[in-house]
Structure 1
């Protein structure tokens, strides 16, 4: 039997209107209590704010996704203004971070300006006492850890995290959280991270509409997939499904003050 869940990281505004309507109508069926809907840019932030006002289960976060060309100064200021204006409505600053995949495509891309922008978002998270949702994997994760430590930030959520053993140990020590996607069913790398990371510092997500492979191939990414993720986490951790459900729900509600 399934139990209540929260999708800790989804780009709900990126689904088309018909699919959003379907997902919203099926949340209760699959016991999805909330969606933490992160923003990619200014337009995305406006969309998530509007969607959240139509359904209180959609919990918006405002940020700028790093896997794209940096915004101009005007857009940065507009995004920051949106955060100021909606600080009582948003649940977090995010998605923000560093452009790992973009740099693989464009090795000459300067990282410094992305670090500078991320540091501005970290300072906003501190100012408004909000969690920060991070896109920071592999060699980018230690850079982000440096910034978080510099500003004494612990309320940090590394979504779909992948990284070295040393970084994992550092993140555990700093009490940072990670979230696990449905690829945990078939990716040994993710299963290894699940085994190492404390359940008490873990959440579950879809990162929808990002598509998945194997048993999920050609399926629209849906929060219901999280139930399969929980089955795998239970198996890897050697815990009952009930224990995993309860802890993950507690973690996410507590982290995002839901």
Structure 2
């Protein structure tokens, strides 16, 4: 195994015991760092504290779209927090559009979520940081349009799922996507990897989200990424060492991680 970075994990959602288990075994598992995304202000505060304690934790601050919209005063506090700590974060995230929430609640107004996403895109541009997006299937083109509207290209679509037309659009715009451990057992995800350039690929766990296949009933741990890497190397028909080197460098470059 070679060094790799988990490009998307909700570290603050693990128990303290699980966090310690993950963080104290990173080196032995060849995990060079964690991009820890946030769901809201309290989540961002927790991730910032973890980053202060562990040098290989790289926090991102945002508002996860699969929840009720924040009140105006909550957004003001979150934006102020982000601006106050912009030098301590690597990105704006996780932000995006509520695909799954709309499946459960048909009366959700998408327009308000689009306005919120646009606000975060403008904020990312203002603080000159990448943006981490939750935008899948028919929501992905909507996110692409907002990014294009404001000429933002430093975009990471995590756990992307969507059609070939959208994939081509994302390739043309230079966006990055990342794959979770479900690439080891889902043909849909394997097909996306086959059709996206390795130079724009990262790997993630999205932990503590749990997976099936070879990871059934296991706590999601960044060390699962190594199985993803073997599958990606096979799909892209490259040497495993080359795949590790490329994806590790992709993640470091995108998030401006030194060392």
Measure, in 2, the Cα distance between the counterparts of 1:239 and 1:108. 47
Measure, in 1, the Cα distance between the counterparts of 2:108 and 2:144. 21
Which 4+ residue blocks in structure 1 deviate beyond 3 angstroms?
A: none
Q: Which residue of 2 aligns with 1:207?
A: 206
- The answer as to 2:188 corresponding to 1:189 is yes
Measure, in 1, the Cα distance between the counterparts of 2:83 and 2:152. 19
Q: Which residue of 2 aligns with 1:84?
A: 83
Q: Which residue of 2 aligns with 1:20?
A: 19
Aligned-residue RMSD, C-alpha? 0.5
Q: Which residue of 1 aligns with 2:3?
A: 4
Q: Deviations over 1:104-142 (max 9, x none)?
A: 011121001101111110001001110000000000000
Displacement after TM superposition at 1:10 (Å): 0.2
Displacement after TM superposition at 1:9 (Å): 0.2
Residue pairs, 1:230-249, within 5 angstroms? 230-249=229-248
- The answer as to 2:145 corresponding to 1:150 is no
Corresponding residue SS for 1:147: helix
Q: Which residue of 2 aligns with 1:255?
A: 254
Q: Which residue of 1 aligns with 2:47?
A: 48
Q: Deviations over 1:131-186 (max 9, x none)?
A: 00000000000000000000000000000000011000000000000000000000
Q: Which runs of 5+ in 1 are unaligned?
A: none
Corresponding residue SS for 2:59: strand
Corresponding residue SS for 2:194: helix
Displacement after TM superposition at 1:214 (Å): 1.3
- The answer as to 2:131 corresponding to 1:132 is yes
Measure, in 2, the Cα distance between the counterparts of 1:173 and 1:55. 36
Q: Which residue of 1 aligns with 2:121?
A: 122
Corresponding residue SS for 2:182: helix
Measure, in 2, the Cα distance between the counterparts of 1:92 and 1:160. 17
Q: Which runs of 5+ in 2 are unaligned?
A: none
Q: Deviations over 1:46-65 (max 9, x none)?
A: 10011100001110000000
Corresponding residue SS for 1:158: strand
Corresponding residue SS for 1:88: helix
Corresponding residue SS for 2:39: coil
Measure, in 1, the Cα distance between the counterparts of 2:22 and 2:60. 19
- The answer as to 2:126 corresponding to 1:99 is no
Length, aligned pairs only: 257
Q: TM-score, normalised by structure 1?
A: 0.99
Measure, in 1, the Cα distance between the counterparts of 2:204 and 2:173. 21
Measure, in 1, the Cα distance between the counterparts of 2:224 and 2:88. 27
Q: TM-score, normalised by structure 2?
A: 0.99
Measure, in 1, the Cα distance between the counterparts of 2:106 and 2:163. 21
